[in-house]
Structure 1
Amino acid sequence: MVFNVTLKQSGRQFQVEPDEPILNAALRQGIGLPYGCKNGACGSCKGTVCSGEVEQRAHAASALSNDEKTRGMALFCCATAQTDLEIDVREVAGVGDMQVRKLPTRIAAIERKADDVIVLKLQLPANERLQYLAGQYLEFILKDGTRRSYSMATAPHAEGPLELHIRHMPGGKFTDHVFTQMKERDILRFEAPLGTFFLREDSDKPIVLLASGTGFAPLKAIVEHAVHQNLDRPMTLYWGARQKKDLYLLDLAEQWAKDIPNFRFVPVLSEPSADDNWTGRTGFVHRAVIEDLPDLSGYQVYACGAPVMVESAQRDFSQHHGLPEDEFFADSFTSAADLANPV
């Protein structure tokens, strides 16, 4: 027995098997729904169940509140259909055009950029070319079947290895291995491209790029893609970190500000050290955006990094500073720890 799911905004329909997550069914049938983590931690796939019944499975409390459940909302990455459904969720054009593939890869380089950040470069098999959208991510498939997600920091047009920016999570099974045991020429497997975080090129609105930590990675791909495409929309990159050393590619971002027309770079430190001799902006990075742009009604925002930053920016920008909800695009860097206490 299968259930029919109708998308309220477009009228498109797809079928979902019993016990199959609604998001998985949509993607399997070429229908692009928004998503990030696919495990109930980030909230990107949230939408409204207009009619019918779903079973909402375990998820992070921050991704779907009890109040939102009461209002009929669900996380479609971990909700299954109990009846035919009508759902209201934003469709994403373009994702279905990219073939998701599983590929082997060889470690081409391991470059330490900060105490806790490594730039990992991946060499694909000869004659293989991965097609993806700037901002999307890949998932490493580990030997025990578990997965780890990392944004691709390389623009899709670029030749050479794929670049990832990996922050060490002490006690993290994969990042402990990367920082202590991984060697050049090691072989890994991954699946890509994934995610609905990518540059929307059909708009002429000025762009705010908002990063914390290694959330800089997909924004690097977006900036380099925009330059390659000769997009002339104004772009401002706000990159937040604790201390100056955590802005691990500061020279690159500063060079962009010199070389790219209509591009601004605003670094923001939350806890600068005395050694930093910091004279720039301080505090929360999303607050720096608000200080500069109190009216965001004419902008698009692309936010990537720690969940608390992404959630705060989405709430404050939309509720208090005029940003249309459908002009906020995000990739929240969730980890296994974010699902440690699911509800």
Structure 2
Amino acid sequence: MAKPLALTSGEPAGIGPDITIKAWQRRKQEALPPFYLLGDAELVRRRAGAIGAEIPLAEIGRPEDAVAAFADHLPVIATGHSATAEAGLPDETSADAALASIRRAVADVTNGKAGAVVTNPIAKAVLYRAGFRHPGHTEFLAELATENGRTPQPVMLLWSPTLAVVPVTIHVPLSEAVAQLSTDLIVATCRIAVRDLRQRFGIARPRLALTGLNPHAGEDGTIGNEERTIIAPAVDMLRAEGIEVRGPLPADTMFHDAARRTYDCAVCMYHDQALIPIKTLAFDDAVNVTLGLPFVRTSPDHGTAFDIAGSGRANPASLIAALRLAARMSAAQAPPEAR
């Protein structure tokens, strides 16, 4: 039998509780896999009241109890960190509650209790004020996955049925992204993307398209040389390994309908080059996936939306997509007897 998914609370004052409640309410029509929430049951009750949702909770002690409870109750496992924040108003309990939820989810998956980690949105500014030292979720998850002193290289994939993108550099200023970009980083990122697209998405021969860094992919060196000196050598190395890859290509012509049909994943040189097109084309159903980890992790591709938390207006579509994709990916990598 498939294992339940471990869903983190995210920032308690954000829309995480709202979309969790709405996703569970739609579990039957959306055919959602069983999941359990790691967080504060009392906060969920308060938020359900605020958005006018009647939702029965099952406060369980073990992940394995979630599958039986899920049909009629939203299963909740306490992390030992209460969350007292009101909707839209983070307080001194927010950071500890969010981080404890992530740590427990990773532990449950690592210990074989859960099939995958699905994370609700966090508020990085709230975490930074509490001493959090990572750029974001992705890097924190990589640290939690450290084993024998080796930390895996995480790769961010934004996936939707319309488009899949990977940024080579992630949560850094644009000037630093240019400084970080290297042939080795591009090659390593593409290798991880290809491996996970094969193993977790079932794409036998993934096709990658690499953007250039500069306008018009450098225009033959007249608008920058990074395409010649950094990106093209990476493409040559990847092709030598048998990976199907094209580029560097002008980013402004890579995302229209006909272009998207020529590749399975666009590998982009910096954050906004990747995220602007996918959030334009698939804002409601895009999913944030962390590749390169020893476990499956997905997340809605949006933030905490403090301005609408507790209003009932939050759309659970991206969380629903994240739950479905997590179940698909974990099933793809599981041995046949465990499916």
Superposition TM-score, scaled by structure 2 size: 0.32
**Greater helix percent: which structure?**
2
**Greater strand percent: which structure?**
1
